[in-house]
Amino acid sequence: MKVDNSSLTGESDPLARSPDIGHTNPLEARNLAFYSTNCVDGSGYGVVVATGDNTVMGKIAKLVTGIKVEKTPIGIEISRFTTIITCFACFDGFLFLIICLAIGLTGTTSVLYTIGIIVGNIPEGLLPALTVALTLTAKRMASKNCLVKYLEAVETLGSTSVICSDKTGTLTQNRMTVEHCYLSDQIIRIAHNRQECQQLMAPVAHCWDLYSRCARLCSRSEFVDDDPDIMKRKVSGDASETAILRFMESVSDRPVRDYREVYAKVAEKPFSSTYKYQYSIHRNPDADPKMNNHFILAMKGAPERIIKLCSHVVAPDGQTIPISASHVINFEEAYRELGSMGERVLAFCDTEFTQFMPDHIFDLDDDNIPGAVAKCRTAGIKVIMVTGDHPITAQAIAKDVGIFTESHRRSTRISKPGIDRHRRPNSTSIVVPGDELAQLTDADLCSILSDFREIVFARTSPQQKLRIVENCQSLGQIVAVTGDGVNDSPALKKANIGVAMGIAGSDVSKQAADMILLDDNFASIVTAVEEGRRIFDNMKKTIGYICAGSVTTLYPFMFLVILGLPQAIGIITVLLIALGTDLMPAISLAYEKAENDIMSQKPRHPTRDRLVTRALILRSYFQIGVIMAAAGFCGYFYVFWGYGIDPWTLLAKWTWQNDNLFVYVFYNGQWNKTNKMEILYEAQTAYFICVVVCQWMDVIVSKTRRVSIFRQGLGNWVLNFSILFETCVCAFFCYIPPIANALHLRAPKPMVWACAVPFALYILAYEELRKFIIRNYPDSFLAHELLI
């Protein structure tokens, strides 16, 4: 009999069972059938040798339930940041409380100032901003076929440095044949004989010529042998393309391979279940220099998608005419009729480009698996294949999908006595079979994982997959695991992020995973990695922006206590900045697109590249925060100066508190405490307005960490709206009398808004210089100190 062990070993082909042992490894033995696997052919008698937890499936279940769920990297970072900021805020508050009491302030006043200090230190808008950022990213990833089960898992894949994939792609071997063609508004049953086919296609010769050209060119399938019987030739390609290739080889006057050499391929877009079509671009051997038609695009895909992309159709006489409603109706009826016959229907179309010069280079986004593996490598991510397939099969697939790019060797031989494991051959790739992996110590396994760039583990058991993940993690790597079978579930659960297949994946693997690929496409992982890196970048930008805004509420209290300067900001104004003007721009940074070099950067180091770094704190508290606070004090002093009170008078310690020292004539010759407070409220309002003006520029420069803002552009319309929103909020609180009076704010002169403009421009110049140094001198000491 034959059994399907794919859920345990990953092998898709049925395996014959017989009384012969064949191998001492239970998963390799030919006389064992396993609980939960299916008998797909034949019948047999057997003896039960294990039940319950003693079965292979039971052992896998015990492995999964015994694995402790690790905290996500972003969860660790957020906890670290909240701990630091809480301790810092409480320490500052307690210190200033002691100072206030020591200099003779009342208990009530001291407590109020202490509350202001604590509120000024804590970024109240951070939690909603980060929650929105994670939610938006999860939604974007879902639209790209990556379903995230936990919000924090959104960022984990962006931190990934190693991907252990059990399955990178298989070649389908279903037997399909071409049965019908729909040409010139008629369904034609085709023949696989050249002469018969020519006779059938004679009435629609023009359409047939274009169809056959497209069918031969728009394909990635190729013959791998020269069997005289075309229908028996082995083909590298999926079932549909195999059928089309065999059909065109049968009815064409020359081999398809020779025809493709004439129409040289220059670029292609592989098929994806997302957009349901594929196309390739070829040089036109019949190009007319006057027409500039040097390139031809050939496309095939789902009929309902192709028809929407087309504007013209070829008539029986060979003329190209606009598609009419009747053409569309006939087309839809035809593919419904063919579909009802149990046939798979594909539509073809082509066009000649006339806008490109002969030397034009096409740069298409290649979403296939080799392209995805190459992108992972460019992003500094090591892709390791961990499979249950035979080593020879695994080696061939690794070459085919781009995991192996150089010479490799089969045997490790590093655990043998007398062999120095630190001396490696010139090979950069290695295949490690499961039976040899079982003999390796953890030190030897870690040596392989760290020394070789291209690694394939073949014939691995669930326990060995789990061990590989654990050893990768012991090297400080953030590990992602992809899988679809029950045998992958222990590794999926142990990984920093487990990625299951949504279509072919078992329920057990989906349960153990943190993310599900809805299209079973490895290339979708690259998209998820980019989104994960984008969210980490955007979270750093959000924290930097919020902290810079929060510190502007801290400096006024410091100057009050140290210099006796009249309070430049009120407690209510602190909350207006933290939860009013700060919040919307902070959230808008979650919508910012990724910087163009994000996938060329190495994965972040889990201990060195933190969410909140010293450079970020220095930038927020002592660079941008100082500039914004200086702008606020500029507006603040401007208001006092307008009433004849110069800064030196205010800086004379505690002068402002002594009403008898102010003998200036204000308010029509009257001076009293009420009038004095009116001036102070107006000055505090000016401080608030100047901070908001600087926040405009701060949120703009916070759009990037390395790239110039002039290159990134202002395409984030949520952010653009947030600037308008915070300006309206500020004006609403300051210029609506009932609201302003209730909040102890007063409407200052319009010139106050202009006071902050030079400081905003200084922020722009400073940030552009900082990013210039980071981009052009990345290894310098200054760049390391300035990169937030």
Catalytic residues: 166
- The greatest distance separating any two alpha carbons of the chain, rounded to the nearest whole angstrom, comes to 115
The rounded distance, in Å, linking the Cα atoms of 647 and 433 is 78
| DSSP string for residues in 5-29 | -HHHH---S-EE--S----SSTTT-
| DSSP string for residues in 134-158 | HHHHHHHHHHTTEEESSTTHHHHGG
| DSSP string for residues in 158-173 | GG--EEEES-------
Q: Which residues contact 390 (CB under 8 A, 6 or more apart)?
A: 458, 459
What is the CB neighbour count within 10 angstroms for residue 678? 15
Q: Which residues contact 518 (CB under 8 A, 6 or more apart)?
A: 145, 146, 147, 502, 503
- Which H or E run contains 299? strand 295-301
The rounded distance, in Å, linking the Cα atoms of 744 and 733 is 10
The rounded distance, in Å, linking the Cα atoms of 250 and 178 is 11
Pair of tokens at residue 37? 């696997």
Antiparallel, parallel or unpaired: β 497-501 and 429-433: unpaired
Antiparallel, parallel or unpaired: β 382-386 and 454-458: parallel
Pair of tokens at residue 126? 């951070």
The rounded distance, in Å, linking the Cα atoms of 639 and 736 is 19
Q: What share of the chain is helix, strand, coil (3-state, %, to 5)?
A: 50, 10, 35
3 state SS of 301: strand
First to last CA, the chain: 63
Pair 604, 539: CB distance under 8 Å? no
Nearest to residue 489, comparing CAs of 480, 478, 479, 500? Answer: 500
Cα of 409 vs its chain's centroid, Å: 34
Pair 149, 499: CB distance under 8 Å? no
The rounded distance, in Å, linking the Cα atoms of 218 and 11 is 31
Which residue's structure tokens are 């790209």?
Answer: 144
| C-alpha R_g of the chain | 35
Cα of 330 vs its chain's centroid, Å: 42
Instruction: List helix spans (H) across 552-646.
Output: 555-563, 571-576, 583-588, 614-617, 625-642
Q: CA torsion, points 314, 318, 321, 326, in degrees to nearest 10? A: -50
Angular region, 365: left φ>0, alpha ψ -120 to 50, beta rest = beta
Pair 10, 167: CB distance under 8 Å? yes
The rounded distance, in Å, linking the Cα atoms of 95 and 562 is 12
Antiparallel, parallel or unpaired: β 295-301 and 497-501: unpaired
Vertex 562 angle, CA 695 and 689, to 5° = 20
Secondary structure (H, E, C), 434-494? HHHHCCCCHHHHHHHHHHCCEEEEECCCHHHHHHHHHHHHHCCCCEEEEECCHHHHHHHHH
Q: Which residues contact 443 (CB under 8 A, 6 or more apart)?
A: none
